Amino acid sequence: MGGVFGNWPGIVGPQLAEHTRPERFEDGELTVAADSTTWATQLRLLSSTLVKRLNEELGHGTVRRVKVVGPSTGPRRQGGWRVR
């Protein structure tokens, strides 16, 4: 799996790699972080293609799912902005 983390641009291409990064691999699930919600959506649309590409690199069945997480914005503020 280290090859994926080290060669992310080679696997997904330079443009996508500029806005995403693999974070962890656990039980067949690769978690990928995106730097914006737009790139997270794009990666979700490409997830089945990405699973296929990763399995070509790592061996059939190694990656079963790609979980995409967007940027964290922190906890939501409670109070004054609610509609009454």
Lowest mean pLDDT among 6-10, 39-43, 49-53, 72-76: 72-76
Single pTM value for the model: 0.78
pLDDT in tens, 3-43: 677 888 988 889 999 999 999 999 999 999 999 999 999 99
DSSP the chain: -HHHHHSHHHHH-HHHHHHEEEEEEETTEEEEEESSHHHHHHHHHTHHHHHHHHHHHH-TTS--EEEEE-----SPPPSTT---
